[in-house]
């Protein structure tokens, strides 16, 4: 079927496919820099273990080892994905060189350590989100912001404040808001004797970090919750309740939900409307958990589609900051990035092609038979033709036309990284 026929078919149910395509083109989706190098960063021993309850598995050849390699890989992704890309950096991706005085520890990071990233984003017309890095560092004891050791806790608070300043710099330089996400792996392997102590200290630390001045219209600090991690199975300081309560208690902090961070039968698609009923903004980490927070590549699957549908149905494309968050080292990393980004775009486009007003009306009228039938029939609409048109309008390759570029890049560039 051609695009013209698909367009007519959608028009018959009240959907303007051209409008959906134009809308999607303007929605920023943050691309996580950490898929390219297995969350290692550039500020420490590249062979040190990843800590904080997260893990990459696999040893596929071609990992980016330097800022130049990582940027080249990101450029390859940008070449192959439709839509508006925003960069998402972690503090451990600071770039130290002779010009900026060389290495400093995380509590001493400055905007100048991200100047090269700003240049990178500027020349590609991208905004940039930011994340302080509270893991994979000798000062994780293993707690960070909730540590009972005041010296440790202060170190990490200083890191958080430095990251507020860097986030402000990114927002100012790039002219797009900067979402600054605070996630730590703080917690315990076994049953704790004191659950409230760490949580009270965590609150104090967040308050101290957010006491650093910033422009609330440009920098959006978030609290990302988690249910558990590897080696942190029994207790997580920044639990769902802690993060929700914290964010709801302030006008300068929002909730970030990562769909890998809940019990396996809980779904983030059901949580979005609950937050949006109260808060103007929220943020998401879109990932795929296989049995646990495994950070598999995002697919065009039921839950990702449902998450995107919820954002669209709530008319909240400008209220929900969307970011990807996964890391697979067992396959080509550029393919992993590209597949996940394209799939998120697909899910958003799929959501934009739903006759939401019709469906809502049927629900309100109690006509659940017709609602089910129409929802089911929509699944076999000619979505692929609209997706192909979207790729064409964005000047990016259609399905079937981009994977050879990955194979060539792997052979010519990534496999030579030895
Ligand atoms: C970990 C969290 C967190 C990290 C990144 C690297 O479980 O999801 O967001 O994945 O900060
Ligand atoms: Zn996350």
Strands 219-224 and 178-182: parallel
Quick: pLDDT tens for 175-187.
Answer: 999 999 999 999 9
Longest alpha-carbon distance in the chain = 68
Q: Which residue has the tokens 């990807």?
A: 324
Of all protein residues, the one whose alpha carbon is nearest to atom 1 of ligand 1 is 54
Cβ-based neighbours of 186, under 8 Å, separated by 6 or more? 134, 142, 143, 144, 145, 146, 147, 198, 202, 232, 236, 237, 238
Confidence of residue 67 (pLDDT cuts 50, 70, 90): very high
Residue 226 lies in a domain: yes
pLDDT band at 46 (very low <50, low <70, confident <90, very high): confident
pLDDT reported for residue 165:
99
Domain limits at 339? Answer: 26-354
Q: Report how many domains make up the chain.
A: 1
- Indicate if 110 belongs to the active site: no
Reduced to 3 states, what is the DSSP secondary structure of residue 139?
A: coil
Separation between Cα atoms, residue 62 and residue 271, nearest integer Å: 38
Confidence label for 1 from pLDDT (cuts 50, 70 and 90): low
How much is the mean pLDDT over the chain? 97
Neighbour count for residue 284 (Cβ, 10 Å): 28
226 is catalytic: yes
Ligand 1: lining residues by beta carbon, under 6 Å: 34, 39, 54, 90, 131, 183, 224, 226, 258, 285, 293, 325
Structure tokens at 342: 């394209």
Residue 300 pLDDT level (bands cut at 50, 70, 90): very high
**Alpha helices, DSSP H only, in 300-332?**
302-313
Nearest atom, ligand 1, residue 327 CA: 10
| 293 catalytically annotated | yes
Instruction: Please tell me the predicted confidence (pLDDT) of residue 322.
Output: 99
**Per the residue annotation, which of 86, 113, 137, 226 is the catalytic one?**
226
Active site residue 258: yes
Q: What DSSP line would sit under 237-284, residue for residue?
A: SS-HHHHHHHHHT-SS-EEEEETTSS-TT--GGGTHHHHHTT-S-EEE
Confirm whether 410 is domain-assigned.
Answer: no
CB atoms within 10 A of CB 111: 17
CATH of the domain at 121: 3.20.20.150
Ligand 2 centre to CA of 200 (Å) is 22
Ligand 1 atom nearest 256 alpha carbon = 9
Say what the pLDDT of residue 93 is.
Answer: 98
Please give the average per-residue pLDDT across 299-328, as a whole number.
Answer: 98
Mutate to test the pocket of ligand 1, among 183, 225, 288, 298 (most ligand atoms within 8 A of CB): 183
Packed helices 403-412 and 67-80: angle between N→C axes, nearest 10 degrees:
160
Q: Is residue 386 part of a domain?
A: no
In the annotation, is 387 catalytic?
A: no
Question: Whose atoms come closest to the Cα of 327: which ligand?
Answer: 1
| Domain contains 187 | yes
Indicate the Cα dihedral angle 94, 99, 103, 108, nearest 10°: -70
Q: What is the CA radius of gyration of the chain?
A: 22
Overall average pLDDT of the 211-224 stretch? 98
- Say how far apart CA 23 and CA 46 lie, in whole Å: 41
Residue whose structure tokens are 């078919």: 9
For residue 280, is it within any domain?
yes
CA of 392 to the centre of ligand 1 (A): 33
| pLDDT at residue 47 is higher than 90 | no
Q: What distance in Å separates the CA atoms of residue 41 and residue 66, rounded to the nearest whole number?
A: 9
Based on the residue annotation, tell me whether 34 is a catalytic residue of this protein: no
Q: Is residue 284 part of a domain?
A: yes
pLDDT tens-digit profile of 361-412? 999 999 999 999 999 999 999 999 999 999 999 999 999 999 999 999 999 9
Instruction: Look up residue 13 and give its two tokens.
Output: 């149910």
Angle between helices 67-80 and 115-123 (to 10 degrees): 20
Among all bound ligands, the one having the nearest atom to the CA of 182 is 1
Instruction: Using the mean position of ligand 2's atoms as its centre, give its distance from the Cα of residue 53 in Å.
Output: 12
pLDDT in tens, 180-209: 999 999 999 999 999 999 999 999 999 999
Q: What gap in Å lies between CA 171 and CA 165, rounded to an integer? A: 10
Residues around ion ligand 2, judged by CB within 5 A, are: 258, 285, 325
The single residue of 156, 183, 387, 402 carrying the catalytic annotation is: 183
Half-sphere exposure of residue 55: CA atoms within 13 angstroms, side-chain side: 12
Q: What is the average pLDDT across 26-52?
A: 95
Question: Within a 10 A sphere around the Cβ of 330, how many other Cβ atoms?
Answer: 13
Of 243, 324, 328, the residue nearest 285 (C-alpha):
324
Residue 73 has pLDDT above 70, yes or no: yes
Catalytic (active site) residue 263: no
Contact 181, 222 (CB under 8 A): yes
Contacts of 79 (CB under 8 A, 6+ apart): 396, 405
pLDDT at site 3: 98
């Amino acid at each position: 079927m051609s695009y013209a026929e698909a367009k007519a078919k959608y028009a018959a149910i009240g959907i303007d496919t051209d409008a959906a395509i134009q809308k999607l083109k303007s929605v920023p989706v943050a691309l996580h820099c950490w898929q390219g190098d297995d969350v290692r960063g550039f500020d420490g021993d590249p062979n040190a273990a990843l800590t904080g309850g997260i893990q990459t598995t696999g040893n596929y050849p071609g990992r980016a080892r330097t800022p130049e390699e990582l940027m080249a890989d990101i450029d390859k992704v940008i070449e192959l994905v439709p839509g508006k890309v925003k960069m998402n950096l972690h503090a451990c991706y600071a770039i130290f060189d002779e010009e900026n005085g060389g290495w400093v520890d995380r509590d001493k990071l400055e905007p100048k350590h991200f100047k090269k990233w700003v240049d990178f984003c500027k020349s590609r017309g991208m905004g940039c989100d930011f994340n302080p890095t509270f893991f994979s560092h000798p000062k994780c004891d293993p707690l960070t912001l909730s540590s009972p050791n005041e010296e440790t806790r202060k170190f990490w608070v200083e890191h958080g404040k430095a990251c507020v300043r860097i986030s402000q710099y990114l927002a100012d330089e790039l002219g797009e808001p900067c979402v600054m996400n605070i996630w730590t792996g703080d917690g315990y392997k076994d049953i704790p004797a004191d659950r409230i102590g760490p949580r009270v200290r965590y609150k104090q630390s967040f308050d101290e970090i957010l006491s650093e001045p910033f422009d609330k219209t440009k920098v959006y600090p978030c609290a990302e919750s988690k249910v558990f991690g590897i080696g942190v199975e029994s207790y997580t300081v920044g639990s769902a309740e802690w993060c929700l309560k914290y964010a709801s208690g302030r006008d300068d902090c929002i909730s970030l939900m990562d769909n890998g961070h809940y019990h396996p039968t809980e779904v983030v698609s059901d949580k979005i409307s609950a937050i949006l009923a109260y808060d103007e903004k929220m943020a998401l980490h879109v990932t795929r958990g296989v049995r646990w927070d495994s950070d598999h590549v995002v697919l065009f699957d039921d839950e990702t589609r449902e998450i995107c549908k919820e954002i669209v149905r709530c008319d909240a494309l400008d209220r929900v900051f969307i970011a990807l968050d996964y890391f697979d080292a067992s396959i080509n990393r550029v393919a992993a990035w590209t597949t996940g980004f394209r799939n998120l775009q697909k899910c958003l486009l799929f959501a934009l092609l739903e006759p939401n007003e019709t469906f809502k009306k049927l629900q309100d009228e109690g006509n659940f038979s017709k609602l089910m039938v129409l929802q089911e029939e929509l699944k076999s609409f000619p979505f692929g033709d609209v997706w192909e048109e979207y790729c064409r309008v964005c000047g990016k390759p259609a399905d079937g036309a981009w994977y050879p570029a990955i194979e060539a890049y792997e052979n010519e560039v990534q496999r030579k990284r030895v």
